[in-house]
Structure 1
């Protein structure tokens, strides 16, 4: 009896592979800044499904996706400078956005696989900032929910390695022209 060859994908991916950044620049000059201290990271894409059944489905329900909603939930260890005590600028930008109205309540975010896998997205979100509280022996952690407003767009992964080709044009690892 022949045993099938096991798949090459036998190593389990780690949850900590994701990196979250917010844009602390302007529309014309983005400045992607790491959100440090993430202890939990979860993304969600939730479809809105509508019944589109007709007599043609012969009694079976037929569904269609009519909208998509996205969100990111993270728990962060609240970071402060050891000398000045000032909180991390990216974390503070999230906290401030959570207490504002209109355009000031939105942040541009992106997340991607820090190992360079083809898993990277960017969008605009509203912020919910919820301190976890705790006893005197607890660390200061915050639950941050980023609720998408508009499209979550796939982007080129910023952590994807670039290989210079002989023509001096960048070729990304995994592209057919790279010969990898």
Structure 2
């Protein structure tokens, strides 16, 4: 039997979903449409020097904390018949204006082909309209500043 030729993964392999349930309990996952650019985070660790006399002159390092941040560019999606933006876009926009728990989003992202990479977390929403010339699309830069643990989860479509 021949070995299949490996294919290169594409950046557009990601699906981003928001939990729109009032309880933020993962009961109403909605897909965020219109993603033009997606930068999945990697944990950014805080590393401290833990060297001591017993190390024989070798320095030691210890991870004491870490944080994460998700960046995504969205093409705004509208329904021009009823004059509304997509519900996930509106959720993010509104959260960026609020304080406390209202400023946070519960989200997950995963490989849309069912590969094992999948993550879930909560974070504070930052929303910035891109603007542009008369020929430009209406885009926004959304940054989710992680608030707490970024979980490794099973891919929900695997």
Please confirm whether the aligned pair reaches a TM-score higher than 0.5, indicating the same fold: yes
Q: Distance in 2 between matches of 1:135 and 1:57?
A: 60
Quick check: 1:10 aligned with 2:9?
no
Write the deviation string for residues 114-149 of structure 1: whole angstroms up to 9, x where unpaired: 110111111111000011111111001100001110
Q: State the Cα RMSD in Å.
A: 1.6
Q: Distance in 2 between matches of 1:20 and 1:138?
A: 24
Which consecutive residues of structure 2, in runs of 5 or more, have no partner in the other structure?
Answer: none
Q: Which residue of 2 aligns with 1:39?
A: 36
Task: Give the TM-score of the pair, scaled to structure 1.
Answer: 0.80
Q: Which residue of 2 aligns with 1:163?
A: none
The alignment partner of 1:108 has SS state of strand
Which consecutive residues of structure 1, in runs of 5 or more, have no partner in the other structure?
Answer: 1-6, 161-180
* Corresponding pairs, count: 154
Contact residue 77 and residue 85 of structure 2 kept, 8 A:
yes
- CA 1:90 to 1:48, structure 2 compared with 1: closer, same or farther past 3 Å? same
- CA 1:9 to 1:153, structure 2 compared with 1: closer, same or farther past 3 Å? farther
Deviation of residue 26 (structure 1)?
Answer: 3.1
- CA 1:58 to 1:8, structure 2 compared with 1: closer, same or farther past 3 Å? farther
Moved over 6 A (4+): none
